[in-house]
Chain A
């Protein structure tokens, strides 16, 4: 298994390199640093000196790939590509436009992001899988039909409306929880309750349908019929046989997103004013802070690759046939 892990990690390197090159091309080749400077400084105040100052402040004044004026190894290291792209591999992201260190900022903001994303994920998984199992238990009855109708209707509502509606009803009309904000310690649940609940509700429609399809596919197999034929009760069939065997497709979709939970949710965090990575990203996008967006892209793909490896490992837990040789 260790050999497998090492191989997978080595395989991840070229992919990260590709991500790196892609973002580098997007941020520095499509538009030159001069263009970015002009955009950020606004059209009115643009002078060549201002552009130069903007570039020096951010370290964009160096050549892209090859520095002819430097000596020896510095010819390759004293470049934008090395500074801004390759340094990401050691999680050195440089400073944001407000001068703060991006890596430290990310560390601080992971906590609040996880505080929302983890409960949403766990609760959402539990609710949708239970709901889907219930629909499958009552399959081909009016309950199943209307359950699917409700799911399709819920899928058709933009997540923005869930949040806006929830904030309006629960915070503004019923005054149950504060509309937005974040507090640590004992105060936290008051602030977290609403975003978590809304996050779960927003995901019910599509996830339930997805799990229902998986379960229905599993329930039509021969072993299930055999189990019923030997007198196993329907509930036991569902939990002992169907749920267990449906774990592989479920894990394929679910484990991948676990590491990405660190990234938080863009929309929920910005609506509720939670100082997590999601709102950090949104603020950076709106302020056009290119360094932060680049850093988030890189971290996102690292976490995604970790998720892929975790998915493979999780198969060994639920399916004894899967082994890594």
Chain B
């Protein structure tokens, strides 16, 4: 699809996402250089749960990054054309990787790995008659000569091939890890300083499962297809990006607001404190969902009334996603702000801050050099802990109809569409199951990491 060239497209969420990744990399470098920070992060890595969670999250992050590299493919040149014309559709690298799943659309529902459709249709018989039967799928298992006979064996061979690739990747990882950790024995017995064994085991499971899924996806719809025949596996992978965006971009709003206002309120006290406290009490006193609902409704009106701002449908749903992140951020900075205010109140009275003040160090410098670094552990804990909550919130909000654009793949829209299908008999369960599994793994990994990070960074935890 990109044989004629392409033009990169940077959507707003992509830009913010990569900005955040960059900031994260700078922060990691900074932490690497400071022994006490490195110690805290090492404590995260020493826990098997922490390493396992990080591996899973990194895999999700990879999917998210692949799906955030957007471009517009050039259309095949026609005769007499001087300029390249680009498609209006914005595609991502993930779309290229999953090209087959994206374009192989069935007519309607089909079960996972099925070769025949899920609902009966009128089929034309070779002798000219008609019969009600389950027709063969256009793409799912289309390579089989005799679907009934070869189906099982073909699936098994796909599984074997996928598993073989997965095992290969696992062995490769084991080899690399043993080189850096002094031998295979130490890795397998778990005698490394960081919990590399747990990371390796997790990676092996992920590699084998992913290998099998991707191998099966070459001939079948692994998780079936939805009402309009789209591949559910593809939709689920696309949802990962949306979940990551909601979980991470929101911090772009919460962090600056919470840190700036929390420090100001705590350090200066007096009327500054009163104003900031008033501000967050007001925001806090509106039940979260309702405030989000009101803001999203207004955003919808705004986007609806300014169609000229958005050239493509992708830009439009992207703007909506970004706006949703901002709204979630505006409604969720208050908790962190209150924590930071309280901590700053304590820090302000400590001797070294008093000393700095007595020496006439400028206030800005005191705040940046002496107060802010000592608040960072709270910020990091809050950041990791909020992530899973935001991913879960996205599903609920999209279900209510105040989440992401209905055309954007997300866990919420998947669940919402699947809910109606549960009433069918026999039941269409696969899109729900796919959303459940992916969401569960993502949120569980985030929760586990949050626990480990809290234990490692909270000075109160022994």
Contacts and interface: CB of A to CB of B under 8 A. Distances in A.
Interface of A: 14-15, 18-19, 22-23, 26-27, 30-31, 35-36, 38-39, 152-153, 155-161, 164, 167-168, 172, 260, 263, 266-267, 270, 281-282, 285-286, 288, 290, 293-294, 296-297, 300-301, 304-305, 308
B15 to A, nearest CB: 24
Contacts of B284: 304
Contacts of B287: 260, 263, 297, 300-301, 304
Contacts of B392: 158-159
B399 A160 contact: yes
A168 B289 contact: no
The 7 closest A-B pairs by CB, nearest first: A18-B282, A156-B444, A300-B287, A156-B443, A301-B285, A304-B285, A31-B301
Nearest to A297: B290
B395 A285 contact: no
A159 B396 contact: yes
Nearest to B395: A158
Nearest to B287: A300
B54 interface: no
B440 A19 contact: no
Contact of B305 (A15, A38, A296): A38
A22 B282 contact: yes
A160 B395 contact: yes
A302 B231 CA distance: 47
A101 to B, nearest CB: 20
A293 B278 contact: no
B282 A293 contact: no
Contacts of A31: 298, 301-302, 305
Contacts of A172: 422
A285 B285 contact: no
Contacts of B278: 14-15, 18
Contacts of B402: 285
A39 B303 CA distance: 10
A144 B395 CA distance: 31
B57 to A, nearest CB: 13
Contacts, number: 125
A43 to B, nearest CB: 8
Contacts of A266: 289, 400
B444 A39 contact: no
Interface string B382-412: 0000001000100110011110000000010
A167 to B, nearest CB: 8
Interface of B: 278-279, 281-287, 289-291, 293-295, 297-298, 300-302, 304-305, 388, 392, 395-396, 399-402, 411, 415, 419, 422, 427, 432, 436, 439-440, 443-444, 447-448, 451
B399 A285 contact: no
18 contacts: A15-B278, A18-B279, A35-B302, A38-B305, A39-B300, A39-B304, A155-B443, A157-B443, A159-B396, A160-B395, A266-B289, A285-B293, A285-B401, A288-B300, A290-B297, A293-B294, A301-B287, A304-B287
A23 B282 contact: no
A164 B400 contact: no
Contact of B436 (A39, A161, A282): A161
Given A18-B282, A19-B285, A156 B294 contact: no
Contact of A26 (B295, B411, B415): B295
Contacts of B399: 160, 267
A30 B395 contact: no
B422 A293 contact: no
B432 to A, nearest CB: 7
Nearest to B446: A156
B447 A152 contact: yes
A282 to B, nearest CB: 6
Nearest to B439: A158
A205 to B, nearest CB: 9
Contacts of B419: 164
B285 A296 contact: no
A113 to B, nearest CB: 13
Contacts of A153: 444
Given A22-B283, A39-B304, A267-B396, 17 more contacts: A15-B282, A19-B282, A23-B286, A31-B298, A35-B302, A35-B304, A38-B305, A152-B451, A153-B444, A155-B447, A158-B395, A158-B443, A164-B415, A164-B432, A285-B297, A297-B291, A301-B287
A297 B294 contact: yes
Contact of B448 (A15, A152, A167, A304): A152
B290 A300 contact: yes
A26 B300 CA distance: 12
Contacts of B293: 281, 285, 293
A15 B304 contact: no
Contacts of B297: 285, 288, 290, 293
A290 B436 CA distance: 33
A26 B294 contact: yes
Contacts of A26: 294-295, 298
Nearest to A167: B422
A270 B419 CA distance: 12
Residue in B283, B287, B402, B415 with the greatest tally of chain A CB atoms within 10 Å = B287
Residue in B278, B432, B447 with the greatest tally of chain A CB atoms within 10 Å = B447
B298 A27 contact: yes
Contacts of A305: 285
A15 B444 CA distance: 38
Contacts of A308: 285
A272 to B, nearest CB: 13
Nearest to A153: B444
Contact of B440 (A18, A157, A296): A157
B315 to A, nearest CB: 19
A186 B295 CA distance: 41
Residue in B279, B290, B302, B411 with the greatest tally of chain A CB atoms within 10 Å = B290
Contacts of A294: 294
